[in-house]
Amino acid sequence: MGSRARIKRIRQGKVPEHVAIIPDGNGRWAKSHGYERSRGHKRGSEVAEDLIEFVSNELSIKFMTFYTFSTENWSRPGREVSFLMTLLKEFLQKKQFKFMENNVKLRVIGDLSKLPKKTSGIVQRTVNKTTKNDGLQLVMALNYGGRQEILRATRKIIEGVKEGKTRLSNLSEEMFRSQMFAPDIPDPDLLIRTSGEERISNFLLWQMAYTELWFTDTLWPAFAPENLLDAISEYQSRERRYGQVKDKERNTPK
Ligand code: IPE
Ligand code: IPE
Ligand code: MG
């Protein structure tokens, strides 16, 4: 099937509203080509650019969350961390115009305060600049960790109770969610992780309770829109039960 026909068929099915991505394998891709790791990150950022463009033009996905830098990634060599921070700055300097053109709204989850000033500055400016765009919402998880987010929410709730703004008896899933980085964003429908690793690595722990997981051996710098279509096709064939039973089996207890 040609690519246009495939896109058309996918559009007729249920397209996930929120796709979360762990773009892994930049280092291994570079190594396999005899390059430095940094070259893998550079190529990986270009792949992300192309995918964002593809999604905003072709699919009705409303939210795409990229695991861009984890709370654990600070323990990589200083040179690699600085390279990633500079790359992110350059990526946004270049892309902010494209985001306006494609109506993309940039959002961030994670703690920006630990990022170098020049990087957090451009992140904040791009978030502000694109705030009124109502197309694809591109969510970057930056200095993000699922455990950090849960602890932060817990702390905020305890402070609220101490200050008398809320009571512990009001604590519910909804109230807890309201203290997350981006409470208005629905939980991911689909998680894609590249590079053959089949783990969550501290990403969106609270939000992924019922997310469909899809893993591929493809390394991130080799990931193409076609691979995203593979993931969505498989997603469309899955049945999400949320702990319940299939509709047609509902009235036939054995
Ligand atoms: C993912 O690629 C990018 C980031 C974590 C920023 P890696 O750098 O983890 O690549 P591998 O896993 O070493 O191949
Ligand atoms: C997850 O990849 C984080 C990002 C892609 C930003 P890692 O490469 O850091 O994860 P592990 O160490 O393989 O679990
Ligand atoms: Mg990795």
Q: What is the pLDDT of residues 14-44, one digit of tens each?
A: 999 999 999 999 999 999 999 999 999 999 9
Which residue puts its alpha carbon closest to atom 10 of ligand 2?
201
pLDDT of residue 246: 81
Has residue 178 got a pLDDT over 70?
yes
Q: Is any ligand 1 atom within 6 A of the Cβ of residue 143? A: no
Closest CA to 212 of 70, 16, 52: 16
Cite the active site residues: 24, 73
**Assigned token pair, 43:** 């190529």
C-beta separation of 22 from 194 below 8 A = yes
Has residue 55 got a pLDDT over 90?
yes
Phi, psi of 214 (to 5 degrees): -135, 125
The confidence band for 1, taking pLDDT boundaries of 50, 70 and 90, is: confident
Has residue 150 got a pLDDT over 90?
yes
Q: DSSP 3-state assignment of 222?
A: helix
pLDDT of residue 253: 58
Has residue 181 got a pLDDT over 60?
yes
Question: How many angstroms separate the CA atoms of 129 and 165, rounded?
Answer: 33
Between helix 37-58 and helix 225-237 the angle, nearest 10°, is: 60
Q: What is the identity of the amino acid at 206?
A: W
Ligand 3 centroid to Cα of residue 55, in Å, is 24
Other residues' Cβ atoms within 10 Å of the Cβ of residue 120: 20
Share of the chain above pLDDT 70, in %: 98
pLDDT of residue 254: 54
Has residue 168 got a pLDDT over 70?
yes
Q: Is any ligand 2 atom within 6 A of the Cβ of residue 23? A: yes
Has residue 236 got a pLDDT over 60?
yes
Ligand 3 centroid to Cα of residue 24, in Å, is 5
Q: What is the identity of the amino acid at 228?
A: L
> Mutate which of 29, 47, 68, 73 to test ligand 2's pocket (most atoms within 8 Å of Cβ)?
73
The confidence band for 249, taking pLDDT boundaries of 50, 70 and 90, is: confident
**DSSP at 130:** T
Question: How many angstroms separate the CA atoms of 191 and 170, rounded?
Answer: 31
**Assigned token pair, 51:** 């995918």
Has residue 252 got a pLDDT over 70?
no
- Provide mean pLDDT across the span 100-129: 98
DSSP string, 38-79: HHHHHHHHHHHHHHHHHHHHH----EEEEEEEETTGGGS-HH
C-beta separation of 68 from 140 below 8 A = yes
pLDDT of residue 2: 80
- Find the ligand nearest to 35 CA: 1
- Find the ligand nearest to 30 CA: 1
User: What does the mean pLDDT of the chain come to?
Assistant: 96
pLDDT of residue 247: 72
The domain made up of 16-145+188-236 is a member of CATH 1.10.287.610: no
pLDDT of residue 183: 98
Has residue 248 got a pLDDT over 90?
no
- Find the ligand nearest to 197 CA: 2
> Mutate which of 21, 22, 24 to test ligand 1's pocket (most atoms within 8 Å of Cβ)?
24
Phi, psi of 141 (to 5 degrees): -90, 110
Other residues' Cβ atoms within 10 Å of the Cβ of residue 249: 10
Which residue puts its alpha carbon closest to atom 12 of ligand 1?
25
